[in-house]
C-alpha cells in the first residue's frame, strides 16, 4: 500500500510537471492583459505602451494595455494578485509597489507573496535640485547650509510619493532638519520651486534637465547609483556627499504568484530581447528612462530590498499610514 501511494504521488507530480511544461510551450495562445495602475497619458503609461507593442510582436499574441488607476496603483495590483496564474494577466509595476506597504495599513494583497517577478524594464532617474537663489553649488554646500539653518530650508513634493521619500532619505542620511511642504502633485511643487516658494526637491531628471539648462533650477546631483546619460556631468549623491544613497524610480512586470516557471522564463526572454532593440532603447530614453534588462531573480531581490528600505524611511519620517 505504501509503495502504491508513492507511485500514485509520483504520477500526480509528473502529470502536473508535464502540464506546466505543455502550458509554457503553448504560451501565449490568446491575448495578454497588461494592467497599468495609472491613467493613460503619463510617463509610465508611455513605457507600458511601448512594452506592450514590442511584446505583441515578439510573442506573436496581442498584449493589451488596461489602465486601472486609483489608490496609488493598488487597484490594478489587486486585480493582478487575484487573477489566474496563467500568464494572461500581468502587472506593469512601478516604484509605488515597494513604497505602498509603508503608506497603507491594510493592502488587499501582499506585495511579495502574491506576485512573481518577470523582469525590470527601465529606471527613471531623479535629481536633487534647488532654486538658483539658494546659495549652494554642491550637495556638500547644501548639507552645510541646512545644518547652519535647521528647519529653515524647505522641500516640496507629492505627499507619500517617491520624491517625498527620497527627500526624507536625504534628510536622514545627511543628518539635517529640512521643512517638508506637502503638495497634491509634483507639478505644483515644481512651479513653487521655480518661483522660490520652496528651496529644494527631488524631481524626475527628464523634467528638470531642460529647466536646469534654462537656468530656472540648479541640479546638484542624481539620486541613482550611477550617472545618467541625460546629464552625464551631474554626479551621483553617493559621489557628491552621501555614500550608498540610492532612490530610483523604475518600471517592471509582475505576474500573479504561482504562474508557471516556464511562462515566467518565456516572458523574461521576450522582455530582454525587446530591451536590446535599438528603437526600444531610443523610445524609452526619449521618455527620460534608461533600460534595465535582467533576470526574474534579480528583480525579485531588488523588490525584497526596497520594501523594508522605504518602510524604514517612512517610519523615521513619521509618515502616518492611511
- The one-digit pLDDT tens for each residue of the chain (322 residues) are 544 455 554 555 554 444 545 557 899 999 999 999 998 987 789 999 999 999 999 999 999 999 999 999 999 999 999 999 999 999 999 999 999 999 999 999 999 999 999 999 999 999 999 999 999 999 999 999 999 999 999 999 998 889 999 999 999 999 999 999 999 988 999 999 999 999 999 999 988 999 999 999 999 999 998 999 889 999 999 999 999 999 989 999 999 999 999 999 999 999 999 999 999 999 999 888 999 999 999 999 999 999 999 999 999 999 888 8
Q: Which of 217, 240, 263 is the last residue of a domain?
A: 240
Q: Which of 222, 240, 258 is the last residue of a domain?
A: 240
Give the three-state DSSP class for 139: helix
Q: Which pLDDT does position 42 carry in this prediction?
A: 75
For the chain, give the number of residues: 322
Say if 167 falls within a structural domain.
yes
Q: How many CB atoms lie within 10 A of CB 24?
A: 17
Q: Which pLDDT does position 118 carry in this prediction?
A: 98
Q: Which of 219, 240, 261 is the last residue of a domain?
A: 240
**Cα angle 59-61-67, degrees, rounded to a multiple of 5:** 105
> Do 61 and 174 belong to one domain?
no
CATH number (domain holding residue 210): 3.40.190.10
> Do 156 and 59 belong to one domain?
no
**Rounded-to-integer distance, Cα 61 and Cα 67, Å:** 19
Which residue range forms the structural domain that includes residue 81? 2-124+248-317
**Rounded-to-integer distance, Cα 134 and Cα 138, Å:** 11
Q: Which pLDDT does position 229 carry in this prediction?
A: 85
> Do 114 and 151 belong to one domain?
no
All 3 cell numbers of residue 64? 493589451
User: Burial of 158 by CB count in 10 Å (0-12 exposed, 13-18 middle, 19+ buried)?
Assistant: middle
Say if 306 falls within a structural domain.
yes
> Do 44 and 145 belong to one domain?
no
> Do 115 and 256 belong to one domain?
yes
Give the three-state DSSP class for 66: strand
Say if 199 falls within a structural domain.
yes
> Do 159 and 139 belong to one domain?
yes
Say if 322 falls within a structural domain.
no
CATH number (domain holding residue 45): 3.40.190.150
Edge-to-edge strand list for the sheet holding 249-256: 63-67, 32-36, 89-94, 249-256, 115-124, 289-291
E strands, the chain, where?
Answer: 32-36, 63-67, 89-94, 115-124, 126-130, 154-158, 179-183, 200-204, 218-222, 249-256, 289-291
Q: Are 242 and 139 in contact (CB under 8 A)?
A: yes
276-296 residues labelled b (16+ CB within 10 A) or e (exposed): eeeebbebbbeebbbbbbbbb
> Do 195 and 141 belong to one domain?
yes
All 3 cell numbers of residue 103? 503608506
> Do 34 and 47 belong to one domain?
yes
All 3 cell numbers of residue 172? 536622514
User: Burial of 66 by CB count in 10 Å (0-12 exposed, 13-18 middle, 19+ buried)?
Assistant: middle
All 3 cell numbers of residue 158? 507629492
Judge if the upstream peptide bond of residue 28 is cis by omega within 30 degrees of 0: yes
Total count of domains within the chain: 2
> Do 118 and 34 belong to one domain?
yes
Q: Which pLDDT does position 322 carry in this prediction?
A: 83
> Do 279 and 226 belong to one domain?
no
Say if 164 falls within a structural domain.
yes
Say if 115 falls within a structural domain.
yes
Q: Which pLDDT does position 14 carry in this prediction?
A: 53
**Rounded-to-integer distance, Cα 102 and Cα 74, Å:** 13
Q: Which pLDDT does position 280 carry in this prediction?
A: 94
> Do 211 and 160 belong to one domain?
yes
**Rounded-to-integer distance, Cα 153 and Cα 282, Å:** 38
Say if 8 falls within a structural domain.
yes
> Do 113 and 61 belong to one domain?
yes
Amino acid at each position: 500500500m505504501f509503495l502504491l501511494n508513492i507511485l500514485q504521488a509520483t504520477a500526480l507530480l509528473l502529470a502536473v510537471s508535464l502540464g506546466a511544461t505543455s502550458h509554457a510551450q503553448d504560451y501565449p495562445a490568446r491575448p495578454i492583459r497588461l494592467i497599468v495602475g495609472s491613467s493613460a497619458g503619463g510617463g509610465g503609461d508611455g513605457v507600458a505602451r511601448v512594452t506592450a507593442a514590442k511584446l505583441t510582436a515578439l510573442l506573436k499574441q496581442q498584449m493589451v494595455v488596461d489602465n486601472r488607476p486609483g489608490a496609488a496603483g493598488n487597484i490594478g495590483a489587486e486585480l493582478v494578485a487575484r487573477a489566474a496564474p496563467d500568464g494572461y494577466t500581468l502587472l506593469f509595476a512601478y516604484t509605488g509597489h515597494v513604497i505602498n506597504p509603508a503608506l497603507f495599513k491594510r493592502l488587499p494583497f501582499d506585495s511579495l507573496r502574491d506576485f512573481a517577478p518577470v523582469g525590470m524594464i527601465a529606471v527613471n532617474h531623479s535629481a536633487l535640485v534647488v532654486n538658483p537663489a539658494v546659495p549652494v553649488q554642491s550637495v556638500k554646500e547644501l548639507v552645510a547650509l541646512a545644518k547652519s539653518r535647521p528647519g529653515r530650508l524647505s522641500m516640496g513634493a507629492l505627499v507619500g510619493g517617491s520624491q517625498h521619500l527620497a527627500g526624507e532619505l536625504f534628510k536622514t542620511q545627511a543628518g539635517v532638519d529640512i521643512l517638508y511642504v506637502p503638495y497634491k502633485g509634483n507639478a505644483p511643487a515644481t512651479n513653487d520651486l521655480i518661483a522660490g516658494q520652496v528651496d529644494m526637491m527631488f524631481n524626475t531628471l527628464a523634467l528638470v534637465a531642460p529647466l536646469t539648462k534654462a537656468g530656472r533650477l540648479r541640479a546638484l546631483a542624481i539620486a541613482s547609483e550611477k550617472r545618467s546619460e541625460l546629464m552625464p556631468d551631474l554626479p551621483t549623491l553617493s559621489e557628491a556627499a552621501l555614500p550608498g544613497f540610492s532612490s530610483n524610480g523604475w518600471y517592471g512586470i509582475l505576474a500573479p504568484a504561482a504562474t508557471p516557471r516556464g511562462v515566467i522564463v518565456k516572458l523574461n526572454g521576450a522582455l530582454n530581447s525587446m530591451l536590446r532593440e535599438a528603437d526600444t532603447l531610443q523610445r524609452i530614453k526619449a521618455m527620460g528612462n534608461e533600460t534595465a534588462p535582467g533576470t526574474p531573480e534579480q528583480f525579485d531581490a531588488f523588490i525584497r530590498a526596497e520594501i523594508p528600505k522605504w518602510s524604514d524611511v517612512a517610519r523615521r519620517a513619521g509618515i502616518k499610514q492611511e
